[in-house]
Structure 1
Amino acid sequence: MTDFMEKQAVCVWTRAHIRGIGAWDMCTYSADIDIWVSRRIQQRGSFEGDCVLEVVSALRAAAKAGPEPVLIDVGGNIGMFSLAAAAVGVETHTFEPVPANALKLMASAVRNGFGHLIHLYSMGASDDNSVFAMGVNPQNQGGVTHVPLLEEGAKFMQIPVVPLDSVLPSDAFSKRPVYLKMDIEGGECRALRGMRRFLQKANLIGAAFETDKSETIACCNELMRPPNGAFQLLRFHQSLCPYDQDRRNKLPFEDLCFLKPKNVAPAVGMNATWPDNMIWKPC
């Protein structure tokens, strides 16, 4: 076993914490092989803590109002969102195709007594049953990326992918409040295409996407196309509206496809740019 593989297998136990949620033990990577997620959790206690708090707060509010809510976490990484939800007693269905990430997530779940709340699927999301090549960054263990989006010569692994409509029992989520979180480093278009039935039938109270801007903008017209485009379903079937999570401003739904990446000047007459994190909230 190489030094890198040995480092990849080790749990660096860290006390994660978010004000307003609580604290829990978390199995992380060594900071030198995961400079984003693990390092920030070790240094700050959380990763994307503001977004995690917003998602968990919505789930908590739903729990007080009626049936027990559930988090669908697509791209669970080492479990920041899923573990935070489980820490307040919320059930999660978590999709994480990278074996080392999935093992760390489940180690954390067992250590904290969350095993009964976190249902882990070691597979990725797409629009058909297939195998994808995913690029591996030796300094960002969670940030595997679809190979077509990588530079030539990048190292990669193969992972199984499935349409989430073939896995998620959407009828079971028609009455329970559901929050959808997706962060899959590319491939969002295929993943959303493969869960249209779920987007139609689930009782969604919110959604959070970290979008690969180039890919998602490229398929924006499909996402907006009635009657079954994913964004169309979120807006008119689920009555959710899009926001830039980082800037806290509401986005112009009708003009989403005209928004530019942040390094490109907005279209004439627009102040908004395409967000790194798009949150869908009740309108």
Structure 2
Amino acid sequence: METNQTILLAMEESINFLKSASKYEMTHSENSRRKWDGFWWHMAVLYEMGEVKLIPESAIVTAQDLLENQVWQTFIISIDDHPTSESDKMKLDCCHCELAVFYMILMAYGCDLDKELPWIREWILKHQLPDGGLNCDPEAYTHSRKSSIVSTLPPLEAILWHTDREFTEQEAVFLDEGARYLIEHRLVCSKQNGTVIDTEWLKPCFPRFFEYDILRGMSFLAEWSQRRSKALPVGLLTEGLNRLNTFMDEGGLRVGRQVFDPQGAWDGHTFPLLEAVSGIGDISPYLTGQLEQVIERLGPAFKKI
């Protein structure tokens, strides 16, 4: 895949930023999680570009140390889940989608987090709700019992994409129930009335971090079908392709949305690499590759569209 000069220079700048960041800067919560220019986000963009191996090893080591020593390893649902010691109160409180993104970056780099930090996979698997998804809002576990599509996809991806062995029974159920949740919601729709929950999800987004768009859900279902030997939801994927049609042209799939949209919920400082790969209307080779994988899974069914 050819990479233009602007992106190459921006990649180099992010790599240098990660090399030069001190351990204090990378573990201090205000700097590490600052949207969208903290060190995790530089690493996440490289990961989503398929360039995770360019992340400096020093940054990976520090990131793994942060997860091991600077994160409160319990999702806070009840009063009993809160840290009590002063040192524990200083730790980061993660949510499902955030933790799953961190996990995927380090696993893709080659870290064996299931051996070194087994609590992360255990966390992901234990927080599935009865409807098949997850929710980063603690009240969902004590009141509504309803999941969030946004909160659900990164944990599902973490288990699906980063298990290089046969799935355990618990993992298989987790993935199958997650797929059921997406299918019942037709990727973007309310189960109650069938309307699109958020029209922004119909716009291809890159990079996503832990945000959602319809292609992200389609990609999961296509891979889940193959890995779990389950029937491909052809009609649903076809419907998804039709919804994406306005963003397709002969060159590939165009970016339709920026996660850091100044008019959106997560407005904040950015950095050159994030801006270089997220131009609205630009053809994204990364989104195009994901779309092509979905189309390949559809095979002859795609020709009938």
TM-score (norm 2): 0.28
Structure in which a larger fraction of residues adopt helix: 2
Rg (Cα) greater in structure: 2
Of structures 1 and 2, the one with the larger relative CO (CA 8 A, separation 6+) is 2
